[in-house]
Chain A
Amino acid sequence: MSALHDTFIVFRSELALALRNKVALAIGLIQPFVYLLLFGPLLTQALPAAQNPWLFFVPGLLLQLGLFGTGFAGFNLIPDIRSGFVERLRVAPVSRLAILLGRLLKDSLILGLQAIPLIVVGYLLGMAANPLGVLASLILILITGVGLASLSYVLALGLPNEYLFAPAVNSLAIPLMLLSGILLPVDRGPVWLDWLAHLNPLRYILDATRALFTGALDTTAAIGIAVAVALAIVSVAIGSSLFRRRTA
């Protein structure tokens, strides 16, 4: 199918550039490690002794990596818009959807590459996670990454100017992070906070990731997977409609 081939062409070219940019790859990894090493020891004290803190914390950091890594994906679109690269693709006989999908797949794959060392270090610190569950979680995070990256492109394309992008992403990502229970269990707060957190799709995805890490393939996991897939589908639909409208 031609759109699929187009997607692969864009993906391959974008991935080659991203992999060459070693500094950016490394910087993307630093933040979760900072949390893991500086915040993790505090958490081991705060959580009940019965709970393995790493089974709680590593899934959270995976999602955080996804949230901040792919949430800023649109940032890479800005120089490409400014340099005329996006218009050049629009003038080429390429499927409009492929221009978006090729980039999204690249963002998701990079997220996967950054997630692996995090998981390895989690195991080294004593995280007793089910390996199959971890693999399933990784796939779940990649699907979530596609959705978040797509929303990030929507912001990059839709905001009236590029200076708004970083503050906009930050002001969306931080409440999403706090309300998903990445750092602390959100269900221990007041009722209204818990209620608000239930509106956050990332919460369900995180709960599912934590369940999968313990090896449980239960309703929590199923709901989280369904939410991630729905988020990805809706976000790509919004993203591609905006790409199409901008590129008719």
Chain B
Amino acid sequence: MGSAITTSGLGKTFITRTGPVEAVRDLTFEVGKNEVIGLLGPNGAGKTTTMRMLSTLEQPTAGTATIAGHDLRHDPRGVRQSIGLVAQSGGSRPTATVRDELLLQARLHRLSDPMAQAETMMKAFELTELAARPTMTLSGGQRRRLDLAIGLIHAPQVIFLDEPTAALDPPSRNELWGHIRALRARADVTVVLSTHHLDEADALCDRVLILDHGKLIAEDSPARLKQRLGNDVITIDAGLRDDQVATRTLASIADLPHVRDVRRTGNELRIGCENAEGLLTRVVLTLHDAGIDMHGLQVAHPSLDDVFLALTGHTTAQER
């Protein structure tokens, strides 16, 4: 398994009237083939600039990158042949039809049978009935499906999705997630998607790169990032009638491995721990042995929001 993307010290400084602005600094990472990675961060973190550099739209001012074996600086055409980009703004002419745009893309990439390719993509993305519609008349969800079809028609090795579900309603978002998951099942595609929806990265990505103020501040699988915080919470609604029994039981739960802290509020037990699933049986057995009834049980993992807060000291919702 080779790598689809490698970057080393990649950076972009924009010269503005008020002085230089470092949008991205010293970005070094690697993306394996067939990986789905998420670029995560608040607005202004450098996600879009990173995508624009990797897709040849913006010249880096520092560092190097290789995409699908092509050097970004010296072989931009090779990069362009191997990638697809679904930009935030889409990229269809307002008066062109769905079929026009797919045909043009197929021809630009010199596909052997543009008509057939366009039809195949329309079928795959449920656009066949919309073929003759001008793109400006499409709904948000339909337009996003078209954008994906355009980005994928030439079977790129690497596909960049810049905030693919921004401004979509929940059903359209779920539908789009389905299409992205389908990409994941294909062995030959690497997906880089940016989002500030943490649940989206959690649901779709093998690995997440967290950007903040143009810098890479963390890089791991969503599960491990959350594990790093180590605060899974098991909440149990128990019949704690006897205070003495309760205190003794709490103490023995607190002695179990991986338990961080145990708190009782009335009939509710909150157990802060690492690896809640691994601990669950022993907690339940302890309560059972003490003769305590259980009326409800809940396991909560930290959200990526919690991760972000812990890493940066601010939540994703806060603008800089």
Interface positions of A (Cβ within 8 A of B): 6, 9, 12-13, 16-17, 20-21, 79-80, 82-85, 87-94, 248
Contact = CB atoms under 8 A, between A and B. Distances in A.
B100 interface: yes
A88 B150 contact: yes
A9 B107 contact: yes
A17 B95 contact: yes
Interface of B: 55-57, 59, 76-77, 80-81, 83-85, 87-96, 100, 103-105, 107-109, 150
B104 A91 contact: no
B108 A79 contact: no
A248 B55 CA distance: 12
Contacts of A85: 91-93
A21 B95 contact: yes
Contacts of A6: 108
Contact of B100 (A16, A83, A90): A16
Interface of A is mostly: helix
Given A91-B83, A92-B80, A83 B90 contact: yes
Contacts of A79: 93-94
Contact of B108 (A21, A87, A94, A248): A94
29 contacts: A9-B107, A9-B108, A12-B107, A13-B103, A16-B100, A17-B93, A17-B100, A20-B95, A21-B95, A79-B93, A80-B93, A83-B94, A84-B91, A85-B92, A87-B87, A87-B91, A88-B85, A88-B91, A89-B108, A90-B56, A90-B57, A91-B55, A91-B57, A92-B105, A92-B109, A93-B77, A93-B109, A94-B108, A248-B76
Given A17-B93, A91-B56, 19 more contacts: A9-B104, A12-B107, A13-B104, A17-B95, A20-B95, A83-B91, A83-B92, A83-B93, A83-B94, A84-B90, A85-B92, A87-B89, A88-B85, A88-B91, A88-B92, A91-B57, A92-B108, A92-B109, A248-B59
Interface of B is mostly: mixed
B159 to A, nearest CB: 11
Contacts of B81: 93
Nearest to B59: A248
Contacts of B96: 13, 17
Nearest to B77: A93
A180 to B, nearest CB: 33
Contacts of A83: 89-94
Contact of A84 (B76, B77, B87, B103): B87
A84 B89 contact: yes
Contacts of B105: 88, 92
A17 B83 CA distance: 27
A94 B77 CA distance: 8
A52 B91 CA distance: 51
Contacts of A94: 108
Nearest to A5: B110
Nearest to A6: B108
A83 to B, nearest CB: 6
A90 B77 CA distance: 10
Contacts of A92: 80, 105, 108-109
A87 B80 contact: no
Contacts of B76: 248
Nearest to B160: A91
A13 B104 CA distance: 7
A91 B81 CA distance: 9
Nearest to A90: B57
B150 to A, nearest CB: 7
B24 to A, nearest CB: 17
A84 B103 CA distance: 17
A96 B107 CA distance: 16
A220 B99 CA distance: 48
Q: Which of B57, B95, B104 has the most CB of A within 10 A?
A: B104
B292 to A, nearest CB: 61
Contacts of B56: 90-91
Contacts of A91: 55-57, 80, 83-85
Contacts of B104: 9, 13
A88 B149 CA distance: 13
Q: Which of B57, B59, B107 has the most CB of A within 10 A?
A: B107
A6 B109 CA distance: 10
Contacts of A87: 57, 87, 89, 91
Q: Which of A12, A84, A89 has the most CB of B within 10 A?
A: A84
Nearest to A88: B91
A79 B96 CA distance: 12
B80 A93 contact: yes
A20 B95 CA distance: 10
B265 to A, nearest CB: 52
A82 B92 CA distance: 10
Contacts of B94: 79, 83
Contacts of A16: 100
